[in-house]
Amino acid sequence: FTYFSLLGSASSQSMRKFSCVTLSTKQLNIQNLVNYEKQQVPTNAIMFITAKGIRICVSADQRWVQNAVKRIDERRAAK
Protein backbone atom coordinates (compact mmCIF):
# COMPACT_ATOMS: atom_id res chain seq x y z
CA PHE A 1 0.00 0.00 0.00
CA THR A 2 1.10 3.53 -0.71
CA TYR A 3 -0.15 6.37 1.45
CA PHE A 4 -0.18 9.92 0.17
CA SER A 5 0.06 12.83 2.55
CA LEU A 6 -2.24 15.75 1.84
CA LEU A 7 0.44 18.05 3.22
CA GLY A 8 3.16 16.90 0.81
CA SER A 9 4.71 19.19 -1.79
CA ALA A 10 3.40 17.19 -4.77
CA SER A 11 -0.22 17.49 -3.67
CA SER A 12 0.03 21.22 -3.05
CA GLN A 13 1.11 21.69 -6.67
CA SER A 14 -1.77 19.64 -8.05
CA MET A 15 -4.31 21.52 -5.92
CA ARG A 16 -3.52 24.75 -7.74
CA LYS A 17 -5.45 23.50 -10.77
CA PHE A 18 -8.67 23.80 -8.79
CA SER A 19 -10.25 27.18 -8.34
CA CYS A 20 -13.38 28.19 -6.52
CA VAL A 21 -16.15 29.37 -8.81
CA THR A 22 -19.25 28.50 -6.84
CA LEU A 23 -19.23 28.68 -3.05
CA SER A 24 -21.06 26.40 -0.69
CA THR A 25 -23.20 28.22 1.87
CA LYS A 26 -23.68 25.34 4.28
CA GLN A 27 -21.47 24.89 7.31
CA LEU A 28 -19.18 21.87 7.16
CA ASN A 29 -18.18 19.52 9.94
CA ILE A 30 -14.73 20.71 11.01
CA GLN A 31 -13.83 17.14 12.06
CA ASN A 32 -14.00 16.05 8.40
CA LEU A 33 -11.67 18.77 7.13
CA VAL A 34 -7.99 17.88 6.82
CA ASN A 35 -6.57 20.72 4.75
CA TYR A 36 -7.44 24.03 3.14
CA GLU A 37 -6.19 26.44 0.54
CA LYS A 38 -6.78 30.19 0.40
CA GLN A 39 -7.85 31.76 -2.87
CA GLN A 40 -8.20 35.36 -3.95
CA VAL A 41 -9.06 34.69 -7.61
CA PRO A 42 -11.75 34.66 -8.96
CA THR A 43 -13.26 35.24 -5.52
CA ASN A 44 -11.99 35.47 -1.94
CA ALA A 45 -12.57 31.92 -0.77
CA ILE A 46 -11.25 29.03 1.25
CA MET A 47 -11.12 25.62 -0.39
CA PHE A 48 -11.43 22.94 2.26
CA ILE A 49 -10.25 19.41 1.55
CA THR A 50 -12.05 16.64 3.39
CA ALA A 51 -10.57 13.37 4.62
CA LYS A 52 -12.03 11.73 1.49
CA GLY A 53 -10.27 14.22 -0.78
CA ILE A 54 -13.39 16.20 -1.66
CA ARG A 55 -12.78 19.91 -2.26
CA ILE A 56 -15.42 22.32 -1.03
CA CYS A 57 -15.24 26.06 -1.57
CA VAL A 58 -16.70 28.46 0.97
CA SER A 59 -16.69 32.20 1.45
CA ALA A 60 -13.63 33.22 3.46
CA ASP A 61 -15.42 35.84 5.55
CA GLN A 62 -17.76 33.54 7.46
CA ARG A 63 -16.90 33.12 11.14
CA TRP A 64 -17.10 29.29 11.14
CA VAL A 65 -14.71 29.22 8.17
CA GLN A 66 -12.14 31.25 10.09
CA ASN A 67 -12.58 28.93 13.09
CA ALA A 68 -12.10 25.86 10.89
CA VAL A 69 -8.92 27.30 9.36
CA LYS A 70 -7.60 27.97 12.86
CA ARG A 71 -8.40 24.40 13.95
CA ILE A 72 -6.61 22.91 10.94
CA ASP A 73 -3.57 25.12 11.61
CA GLU A 74 -3.54 23.99 15.25
CA ARG A 75 -3.77 20.33 14.23
CA ARG A 76 -0.87 20.78 11.80
CA ALA A 77 1.26 22.50 14.45
CA ALA A 78 0.56 19.67 16.91
CA LYS A 79 1.96 16.99 14.58
Helix (H) or strand (E) holding 7: none
Judge if pTM exceeds 0.75: no
List domains and CATH numbers for the chain.
30-78 (2.40.50.40)
Whole-angstrom Cα distance, residue 28 to residue 21? 18
Output DSSP code: residue 43: S
Residue type, 54: I
pLDDT one-digit tens code per residue, 18-65: 677 778 888 999 999 999 999 887 778 999 999 999 999 999 989 999
Whole-angstrom Cα distance, residue 58 to residue 20? 8
Residue type, 37: E
